[in-house]
Amino acid sequence: PGKRVLIVYAHQEPKSFNGSLLKIAVEELTKQGCSVTVSDLYAMQFEPRATRNDIVAFPMLNNLNCLSLSAQERCSRSCIIRRLIKKLIYDQTAFLKVHSFFPLFWFSMPAILKGWMDRVLVQGFAYDLSKSYDGGLLQDKLSLFSFTTGATKEMYSNGGVSGDVRYVLWPMQHGIMHFCGVKVLEPHICYAPENVSEEKRKEMLTAWTQRLKTLWKEEPIKCSPEWYFK
């Protein structure tokens, strides 16, 4: 109760299965007394490209020096528009939880969501030169990735053609969230909702509702190579 939740949502169709998962999460978490903010990236027409056009001098980024080449690279990585700073950083430093909802595209996030990570989680806000992983700047926060796949659970198993699904979680959970100091809850994966019966899809939605009821009691995973690659 009283927890602040940010949901970053990346599906263009409200009637999609991801849309249903989102709706359930908003309803259930609100019912629990959480304060829920949804960033609906397609509806916002979120700009995923990290371009030089939106570079602004950001006082937290001490090493910003546009004259040297190496700093240009750093600059491009840290670029951010004022609106984003205001909306996404100052407002949300207090968020306790990030949910990301999306369909898996090519073993990874859709570009629009990857762009959110590229542009919002900048140096000085999410991490710093010597502050990363367990020392990252977003400690005491939790994250959870919820996504749908095209392939089946069998394909995403050890020995399946797509390999263990945990392999695709490494860059997202460890490379992004853990890097920033954020703790990671078990992902929520709905396999191939397109190819199952309507009844099975309903079961998947019920399971999600059930999970949300005890979500705050869950322990984060131990985010180290062993979890991913055994």
Q: State the residues that interact with its own copies by CB under 8 A.
A: 11-13, 15-17, 42, 45-46, 48-52, 69-70, 72-74, 76-77, 103, 105-112, 114-115, 117-118, 121, 132-133, 148, 150, 161-163, 167-168, 170-172, 174-176, 179, 193-195, 225, 228-229
**Could you tell me the smallest distance in angstroms from the CB atom of residue 91 to its own copies?**
22
State which residue, 29 or 121, has the beta carbon closest to its own copies.
Answer: 121
**Could you tell me the smallest distance in angstroms from the CB atom of residue 110 to its own copies?**
6
State which residue, 57 or 69, has the beta carbon closest to its own copies.
Answer: 69
Distance CA 230, CA 225 (A): 7
**Could you tell me the smallest distance in angstroms from the CB atom of residue 213 to its own copies?**
26
State which residue, 4 or 74, has the beta carbon closest to its own copies.
Answer: 74
State which residue, 114 or 211, has the beta carbon closest to its own copies.
Answer: 114
Distance CA 63, CA 75 (A): 9
Residue 225 is given by DSSP the state H
Which uninterrupted H or E stretch holds 31? helix 17-31
Buried b (16+ CB within 10 A) or exposed e, 149-164: bebeeeebeeeeebee
Distance CA 53, CA 220 (A): 38
Tell me the two tokens of residue 23.
Answer: 């709706």
Distance CA 57, CA 81 (A): 10
**Could you tell me the smallest distance in angstroms from the CB atom of residue 148 to its own copies?**
8
